[in-house]
Structure 1
Amino acid sequence: MKKSEMTEAILAAKTRKKLAWEQIAEKTGLSPVFTTSACLGMNSMPKEHADKLCAALGLPGEVSEALQAFPHKAWDKTIPTDPVIYRFYEALNVYGETMKLLIGEKFGDGIMSAIDFSMTIDKQPDPKGDRVVITMNGKFLPYKVF
Structure 2
Amino acid sequence: MTKTDMRTAILEAKKAKGMTWEALAGAVGISPEFLCSACLGMNSLSAANAESCAEALGLGPDVASALTEFPKKTWDQTIPTDPLIYRFYEIVGVYGETLKEVIHEQFGDGIMSAIDFSMDVSKQEDPKGDRVVVTLNGKFLPYKSW
TM-score, normalising length from structure 1? 0.99
Note the C-alpha offset of 1:52. 0.3
Using the alignment, how far apart are the partners of 2:98 and 2:145 within structure 1?
24
Using the alignment, how far apart are the partners of 1:99 and 1:105 within structure 2?
10
SS in structure 1 opposite 2:81?
Answer: coil
- The one-letter code matched in structure 1 to 2:34 is F
Note the C-alpha offset of 1:142. 0.2
Using the alignment, how far apart are the partners of 1:92 and 1:83 within structure 2?
14
Q: How does 1:40-119 map to 2 (within 5 A)?
A: 40-119=40-119
Q: Which residue does the alignment assign to 1:141?
A: 141
- The one-letter code matched in structure 2 to 1:137 is N
Using the alignment, how far apart are the partners of 1:39 and 1:48 within structure 2?
14
- The one-letter code matched in structure 1 to 2:124 is Q
Runs of 4+ in structure 1 off by over 3 angstroms are none
Q: Which residue does the alignment assign to 1:26?
A: 26
Note the C-alpha offset of 1:90. 0.3
Note the C-alpha offset of 1:106. 0.1
- The one-letter code matched in structure 2 to 1:73 is K
Name stretches of at least 5 consecutive residues in structure 2 with no aligned partner. none
Q: How does 1:1-16 map to 2 (within 5 A)?
A: 1-16=1-16
- The one-letter code matched in structure 2 to 1:4 is T
- The one-letter code matched in structure 1 to 2:66 is A
Using the alignment, how far apart are the partners of 1:103 and 1:126 within structure 2?
29
- The one-letter code matched in structure 1 to 2:97 is E
Q: Deviations over 1:38-95 (max 9, x none)?
A: 0000001111100001111110000000000000001111111000000000000000
Name stretches of at least 5 consecutive residues in structure 1 with no aligned partner. none
TM-score, normalising length from structure 2? 0.99
SS in structure 2 opposite 1:121?
Answer: strand
Q: How many residues align?
A: 146
Using the alignment, how far apart are the partners of 2:144 and 2:59 within structure 1?
45
